[in-house]
Amino acid sequence: MTDHSYLKFPCDFPIKVMGPAGFDFEAKIITIVRKHAPDLKETAVQTRLSKDGNYQAITVHIEATSKEQLDSIYTELHNEKDVLMTL
């Protein structure tokens, strides 16, 4: 079977998550990502509020080590009830 992955590991990888505005949401996302990328630094997280301040977009830059690691992160993020979208 041929691997069609265009990523070469390890690599810098941005994970984008959208959800409701509020401190709790950001903390949940950081906790989930940190389980799979324990070396995550606070400076790797950027948050931006929507125009009306009801939603926020969080970007977390990690040093991805494998496709399995990314799959695990995205699976757990999708299972979080407050997550509206991931990129």
Question: DSSP 3-state assignment of 17?
Answer: strand
pLDDT at residue 46, as a whole number: 97
Beta bridge partners of 67: none
Q: What is the CATH number of domain 11-86?
A: 3.30.70.260
pLDDT at residue 22, as a whole number: 86
Domain spans, the chain? 11-86
pLDDT at residue 1, as a whole number: 44
Q: Is the separation of the CB atoms in 20 and 82 below 8 Å?
A: yes
Give residue 5's pLDDT band: very low, low, confident or very high (50, 70, 90): low
Checking if the pLDDT of 4 tops 60, the result is no
Tens of pLDDT, residue by residue over 30-78, are: 999 999 999 998 899 999 999 999 999 999 999 999 999 999 999 999 9
